[in-house]
Amino acid sequence: MSNIAAPRQVFQPGFRSVMTTPPPRFLARFCPSRRLFSLALAFVALFASPAGTAHAELRDYNMWWTPKAVTTGGHEIDLLLMVIFWLTLFVFIVTQVTYIIFIVKYRQRKGVKAVYSHGNNKLELIWTATPAAIFIILALWSDREWLQLRGKAPDNALSIDIVAYQFGFHVRNPGKDDHLGNYDQLWIEKGTNDFGVDLKDPTSRDDYASENQLTLPVNRPVNIILRSEDVIHAFYVPEFRMYQDILPGRKIDWVWFTPEKIGHYALACNQLCGNGHYNMQAKIDVVSEDDYKKLVAEKSANAEKARAEQDKAPAATPAPVAAVDVPAASPSPSPSPTVAPVVAALGR
């Protein structure tokens, strides 16, 4: 009886195979010639060198890490981020170093056969249970933080109303009464009533609007109310560690944070929203409490004056929408899309 009976004839040695030849020098195992290796090394060195970054005029900006967190919630997120970072870095180093040691140590060697082993159930159990435990702890911690970060805003929070549109942000601040006038998605009329404000509500008279500009007092909780006029946009400020999609037809009122550092930041739309998306941004100024009070006094006086003038000329005022409790009775501002909006869209 031969060594292997039937299929012997189909095992031609053929290919001058790494499978049958004796092991080569270490380097030559994965690189056929020394010249090639040094060439490749030179090539890698050329491209790996930070040549592209040499002329960077790096000011105090660290492009290799996160910007500083400037909100209270941001620090909690940073803590979690750092824990995960060090944990994954540890696992990364341990696994990759072990892996490389294995690769070097267990390379093909003359006269050394691979160990015949189909596995080890004890080991399987260990490396199932350990990551599972770590992941579950991480998940529980994350969920706790999450529900706190996204919980109800404190009672003394400053409410600010944002309506996003293609391509910008309408911002409405409460005036000196510190209270946003009553509003609803159904009352929005583009151009005349961008926020859907109930014009009959007396607390709405001192609210003032601004375009692509958000001014916040420092050290006071801010509750941002997010709505969209058309497509999905997003509220994204890296320094605030805050991202939230803004959906049309839905009011999102759980975004809140406490800015704790005076400065200028950028609010960016971070959900692809059309051709102008790349530049849909707003300025955020975090100012001292006194500055904020001054600003509010000035702006809400202007707003009240404007409203008073509007009242004097009733013809120009859009009819305030009253009946809202019955959705069926409310006029639908937009008919279902037909060819007409398609043609209208060409103007964009």
Q: Which of 303, 262, 225, 282 has its CA nearest to residue 295?
A: 303
342 binds other proteins (CB under 8 A): yes
Q: Which stretch binds other proteins (CB under 8 A): 125-133, 203-211, 286-294, 303-311?
A: 125-133
Residue from 176, 179, 261, 277 touching other proteins (CB under 8 A): that is 277
Residue from 38, 128, 288, 302 touching other proteins (CB under 8 A): that is 128
End-to-end alpha-carbon separation of the chain, Å? 82
Task: Please count the residues of this chain forming the interface with other proteins, following the rule CB under 8 A.
Answer: 143
67 binds other proteins (CB under 8 A): yes
Token pair for 3? 């060594």
Residue from 34, 38, 92, 293 touching other proteins (CB under 8 A): that is 92
Pick out residues in 23-42 that bind other proteins (CB under 8 A): 29-33, 36, 40
Residue from 214, 222, 225, 242 touching other proteins (CB under 8 A): that is 242
Residue from 209, 218, 252, 295 touching other proteins (CB under 8 A): that is 252
Residue from 159, 215, 244, 300 touching other proteins (CB under 8 A): that is 244
**Cis before 92? omega within 30:** no
91 binds other proteins (CB under 8 A): yes
Residue from 22, 25, 123, 192 touching other proteins (CB under 8 A): that is 123
Pick out residues in 308-327 that bind other proteins (CB under 8 A): 327
Q: What is the sign, positive or negative, of the torsion defined by CA atoms of 103, 105, 111, 112?
A: negative
Question: In angstroms, rounded to a whole number, what is the distance separating the alpha carbons of residues 129 and 258?
Answer: 39
285 binds other proteins (CB under 8 A): no
Question: With helix as H, strand as E and coil as C, how does 223-236 read?
Answer: EEEEEECCCCEEEE
300 binds other proteins (CB under 8 A): no
Pick out residues in 153-212 that bind other proteins (CB under 8 A): 166, 185-186, 188
* Binding characters for other proteins, 133-162, by CB under 8 A (x = yes): --xx-xxx-xx-xxx-xx------------
Token pair for 120? 């080890």
Nearer to other proteins, 247 or 301 (CB): 247
What b/e readout covers 17-29, taking b as 16+ CB neighbours within 10 angstroms? eeeeeeeeeeeee
Residue 320, classed as helix, strand or coil, is: coil
- 170 touches 158 (CB < 8 A): no
Q: Which stretch binds other proteins (CB under 8 A): 197-205, 211-219, 290-298, 340-348?
A: 340-348
Question: In angstroms, rounded to a whole number, what is the distance separating the alpha carbons of residues 28 and 16?
Answer: 15
Contacts of 185 (CB under 8 A, 6+ apart): 196, 227, 249, 250, 251
> How do strand 168-173 and strand 233-237 relate by DSSP bridges?
unpaired
Q: Rounded to the nearest whole angstrom, what is the least distance from the CB of residue 320 to other proteins in the complex? A: 17
Residue from 164, 271, 284, 303 touching other proteins (CB under 8 A): that is 271
